[in-house]
Each structure stands twice: as C-alpha cells, then as structure tokens.
A and B are shown apart, each in its own frame.
Chain A
Amino acid sequence: MAQQIRLEVVTPTGAVVDDDVDIVNAPGYGGDFGVLANHAPFLSTVKIGLLTFEKGSSRESLMISGGFCEVSNNKITFLVESAEYGKQIDVDRAMKAKERAEKRLAQISQSTDSINRARAEAALQRALARIKASKAM
C-alpha cells in the first residue's frame, strides 16, 4: 500500500476530517496545490474553494472557506472557518445564495461601497464553492 498522509480539517465548531489519506488537493493562495505523503514542511493560506482528498478508490470533496493550512511531520492540517462535505450540501440553497449574491453584486458594482462588495463577492464565492463541491460527488 502506498504511503499515506494524515489529513485534519479543523473548524471552530470541531474537527471535520481526521483521517489517513493518499492525496490532498486544496485551493492555495497562489493556485491549487496537491500534497502527498512526506511532503516538506509547508504553510499556506487557503481560499474559499474545493478541498478534495483520495483514499484508496474513494474520493471525497469538501467546501472550505478561508483559513490556512500547515504541513509538517507527514500531517496536513487545515484551519478554516467552515468546512462541509459535498454530499451534505443543500444545492438548492447554494443556488439561491448564488443568485442573491450575483444580484447584490450587480447592484453594488456602480457604487463605491467596497466593504459590501467584498462581502457580496465572498458570499458568491462560497456559494460557487458549495455548488462545485456538491457536483464533484
């Protein structure tokens, strides 16, 4: 059996994943990255997006919102504000959230309200990540 790496996904409401896996793919600051067993120590911020990992023949995907991740001692830890399994995501709700965020963005784009725009953009990204995570199943 191939070597595995320990994956931990920790949110403020508890650990979501704590498992030995073969490969982890995550949305890093400078683009997506993959981590295999015995990776060098590594620390990166992560964006809102899709975290996937493979274990044997099974493949799971999670929607994560921003945070950071650390790799050390053959262990990869994600500290994120929220993480949801693709299969647990309510697609209809995510779709509605996406529409809402798009509408709000369209309204805001004329004005110079940067805080609200950032908020709406973050909401849109979260919705998109959720939809992607649920489709990746």
Chain B
Amino acid sequence: MPSLKEVHTKIQGVKKTAQITKAMNMVASAKLRGAQEKMEAFRPYTAKFNEAMSNLSGGANTTNFPLMEVREIHTVELVVVTSDRGLCGSFNSNIVRMVEKKIAAYEAEGKTVSLVCVGKKGFQPLRKTGKVRKQFLDIMGSFQMFNAREIATDVANNFLAGNADKVEIVYGEFKSVAIQQPVLKHFLPVQPVVEEEAPEKKISGEYIYEPSTEEIMDVLQPLYLNVMVYAAMLEVGASEHAARMTAMDNATNACKEIVDNLTIVYNKARQAAITAELMDIVGGAEALK
C-alpha cells in the first residue's frame, strides 16, 4: 500500500493535468469557432468559382492546357496537409497512415512517389521515408491565401516540369465537430469541372469573354489550385481544433476517473492508518490496566 503522502501528491498532480487539459479544451473550442467561421466565409467563394469554371469548361476547348495534360503515370506526388501541433488525438496519425498506405500501393504498382508536406505533424513522421520533396511548416496557425498560392504554385511547377505525372492531395476533412476523416482528392492534372445540377441555365455559349476563353483558363486554373489548397488548409484548421477538443475532453474525463480511483485509495490508506493508530492506543491502554 502506497503511503498517504504519495497518494496525495499524485492526486494533486493529476488534478493539475486535468486543469490544463480542460483549459486546452476550451481554447480549442474557441479557436474552432474562428476556424469554422473562416471556412463558412470561404464557401461562397468556392461555390461561385466552381460555377464560373463549369461555365467556362462548357464553352472552351479544354484539351491543350499544360495543367490539364494527361500523361502516362510514372511518378505520383502526394500533398499532405496536417496540423503543426500535436495533442489532437489520432487526427494527424490517421492522415499519415493513409499516406503510408497510398505510398505502398503506388510502389507496388512500380510508381515513384514524392511528398509535399504542409504542417509539421505530417512532416515529422514522413521525413524518414526520404520521399519528402518539399515542406511548408509553421503556417497552419494563421495562414492566408498567399500561403496557399505559394504551395499551389510550387506543386504546379513541379507538375509542369514533368517531375510528377499525377498529384493528389490528402487532408483531414471536417465532417462535424465529432468526426474528422482523412480524405484523398485528385489535384493535377486539372479535370474539367462538371456541374450536376442546374442544366437549364446553359447559356455558356453566349458569354462574352475578355480576353479569350483560353487566356482566361490560363488565369483561372492556377487560381483553382490555390482555392483547392486553401480549402484543404481551412478544413485541416477546423478539424485540428475539433479533434483537439475531443481529445482534451477525453483526457479531462480520464483525469477525473483517475482522481476518483486515487481518492478511494487515499481514503483506504487513511482509514488503515487511523485503524492502526487506534489499535496502538487501545493496545497501550490495555497494557496500563
């Protein structure tokens, strides 16, 4: 049986930990709100963007753009978007695991894989594979459109240089506060956007384009990639905080449980001490008779 003092110290320690995890939970929930708002604010932009893209691909000849060139696939690049900070449950490790599986699958097909890591927690475990071509670290805290542009431009240039025949992007999708899932999406070559609904407003042929559709496409395609990277980063931002919230909530509950158990141990130990003392006293009194 541990001594009273030992148990007491341990209880105090666990309580302190619970305080920290509780605070982290609250910080995460506050930050989640911000991240979610940022995501909501971006939604109309993507919606409009896709609308314009589909209008354009309807009217334009989309075969001879370098960013849309479909090549035989020898090399694949994966853009891995994770958070910069840990302590958010299995959120990042799920993404990393998915990437590792994907690498194994591609290599089994005899393809070469390279990686671009956005976020420290993807870079750290994946560094040892030796496949990381480039990494963007410490930007997930407060990123803006130009961060996304930097990444998208780098990846696009690598594609144009012929170093990658296909690019996919892996990130943690924000399904809800409770569910975040790693997803893999096609990135390059750019595929024509096909809009399912609203066939009645097919007026794309009558559009006046300035400059030509081809030149507009040249501007829009890189922008489209920026939008995709930015959207992925927003999703990861929100998912990270949501995952941390859940993880910290679990941690706080676990702490409470440990404190409860330790309190029982403490009370038992105290009771045992009291009983022992009583025995002593009774024994002493008995001896004096």
Known: A68-B219, A70-B55. A45 touches B42 (CB 8 A): no
Interface centre among B48, B206, B211 (most CB of A within 10 A): B48
The interface residues of chain A lying within 8 Å CB-to-CB of B56 are 43
Q: With CB as the reference atom, state the residue of chain B lying closest to A80.
A: B45
- B55 near A43: Cβ-Cβ < 8 Å: yes
Most buried by B among A12, A15, A73: A12
Give A12 to B44 CA distance when docked, in angstroms: 8
Chain A residues whose C-beta falls within 8 Å of the C-beta of B44 in the assembled complex: 10, 14-15
Q: A30-B210, A30-B211, A70-B52 are in contact. Are A13 and B216 (CB under 8 A)?
A: no
User: Contact string, A39-50, partner B, CB cutoff 8 A, digits 1/0?
Assistant: 011111100000
**Do residues A45 and B52 form an inter-chain contact, with CB atoms below 8 A?**
no
Contacts of B49 in A (CB 8 A): 79
- Identify which of B38, B145, B203 contacts A72 (C-beta below 8 A): B203
Task: Give the distance to chain A from B50, nearest Cβ to Cβ, in Å.
Answer: 11
Question: A10 and B216: CB pair below 8 A?
Answer: no
B41 close to A12 (CB less than 8 A): yes
- Proximity bits, B206-236, A CB within 8 Å = 1, else 0: 1111110001100110010000001000000
A8–B52 CA distance with the chains assembled, in angstroms:
14
Partner of A68, one of B41, B42, B145, B216: B216
Whether A41 pairs with B216 at a CB distance below 8 angstroms is no
A45 touches B219 (CB 8 A): yes
Q: How far is the CA of A15 from the CA of B223 in the complex (A)?
A: 18
What are the residues of chain B within 8 A of A79 when measuring CB–CB?
A: 45, 48-49, 52
- Shortest distance from the beta carbon of A3 to any chain B beta carbon, whole Å: 20
**Is A25 part of the binding interface, using a Cβ–Cβ cutoff of 8 Å?**
no
User: How many angstroms from the CA of A40 to the CA of B52 in the assembled complex?
Assistant: 15
B223: chain A residues at CB < 8 Å are 67-68
Query: Chain A interface: which size bin?
Result: 20 to 34
Residues of B in contact with A, size category: 20 to 34
Cβ contacts under 8 Å, B51 to chain A: 70
B269 → chain A closest CB, angstroms: 58
Please report whether the interface of chain A is mostly helix, strand, loop or mixed according to DSSP. Answer: strand
Cβ contact within 8 Å between A10 and B45: yes
Identify the closest chain A residue to B203 (Cβ): A41
| In the complex with contacts A29-B210, A79-B48, A79-B49, A43-B41 CB distance below 8 A | no
A30 CA / B210 CA spacing, docked (Å): 7
Across the two chains, which residue of chain A brings its CB closest to B145? A12
Q: Is the CB of A28 within 8 A of B45?
A: no
Kindly state the separation between the CA atoms of A79 and B48 in the bound complex, as whole angstroms. Answer: 8
Whether, in the assembled complex, A74 has its beta carbon less than 8 Å from a beta carbon of chain B, the answer is no
Report the bound CA distance from A5 to B145 in whole Å.
29
Selected from A8, A10, A28, A42, the residue in CB contact (under 8 A) with B207 is A42
Chain B residues with CB below 8 A from A45, complex form = 210-211, 215-216, 219
Contact A43 B207 (CB under 8 A): yes
Complex alpha-carbon distance, A12 and B145, angstroms:
7
Within 8 A of B (CB), among A61-92: 67-68, 70, 72-73, 77, 79, 81
Q: Considering the complex of A and B, which 6 residue pairs feature the smallest CB-CB distances, nearest first?
A: A14-B41, A44-B210, A42-B208, A41-B207, A12-B145, A10-B45
What are 9 inter-chain pairs, A to B, with CB distance below 8 A? A28-B210, A41-B206, A43-B207, A45-B210, A68-B219, A68-B220, A68-B223, A72-B201, A73-B201
B interface residues, Cβ below 8 angstroms from A: 38, 41-42, 44-45, 48-49, 51-52, 55-56, 145, 201, 203, 206-211, 215-216, 219-220, 223, 230
A interface residue numbers (CB < 8 A to B): 8, 10-15, 28-30, 33, 40-45, 67-68, 70, 72-73, 77, 79, 81
Known: A14-B42, A28-B210. 8 other contacts (CB 8 A): A29-B210, A29-B215, A30-B211, A42-B210, A43-B209, A70-B52, A79-B45, A81-B145
